[in-house]
């Protein structure tokens, strides 16, 4: 089955700096890669996603890149703000079967003033 690795597990940046979180996946059949933000005590909230026919996608301060050959995808947050502090999860999904998401282990992002 699919295995998603995520690094780093914790990331501390100064407000205004950029943050980068990286994930790798193992199943070449995976074709959809969402990123979720989880605040304490809440459910995962989708912040951006990318499909395998696209190499990069941007939404304001957030961007995601995908390298299908290397099975890598990354989340980039620019101009970080304190409200960006949360746990971020990458995930991968292949079409078929139950269409389940396989999650990475999470990154605790702390944006310091």
The minimum distance between CB 100 and other proteins, in angstroms, equals 4
The minimum distance between CB 30 and other proteins, in angstroms, equals 13
Q: Which CB, 27 or 49, lies closer to other proteins?
A: 49
**Binding positions for other proteins, rule: CB under 8 A:** 32, 34, 36, 41-46, 49, 89, 91, 95-106
| CA 90 – CA 102 distance, rounded (Å) | 8
> Where are any strands of DSSP class E within 39-101?
45-51, 56-59, 62-67, 72-77, 86-94
Q: Which of 20, 55, 45, 34 is nearest to 99 (CA)?
A: 34
The minimum distance between CB 50 and other proteins, in angstroms, equals 11
Q: Are 104 and 21 in contact (CB under 8 A)?
A: no
Q: Which CB, 77 or 91, lies closer to other proteins?
A: 91
Radius of gyration of the chain (CA): 14
Q: Which CB, 93 or 111, lies closer to other proteins?
A: 93
The minimum distance between CB 82 and other proteins, in angstroms, equals 22
């Amino acid at each position: 089955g699919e295995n998603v690795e995520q690094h780093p597990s914790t990331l501390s940046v100064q407000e205004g700096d950029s943050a980068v979180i990286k994930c790798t996946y193992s199943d070449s059949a995976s074709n959809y890669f969402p990123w979720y933000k989880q605040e304490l005590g809440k459910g995962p909230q989708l912040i951006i996603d990318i499909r395998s026919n696209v190499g990069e996608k941007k939404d304001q301060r957030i961007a995601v890149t995908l390298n299908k050959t290397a099975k890598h995808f990354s989340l980039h947050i620019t101009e970080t703000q304190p409200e960006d502090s949360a746990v971020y999860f990458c995930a991968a999904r292949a079409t078929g079967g139950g269409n389940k998401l396989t999650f990475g282990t999470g990154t605790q992002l702390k944006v310091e003033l």
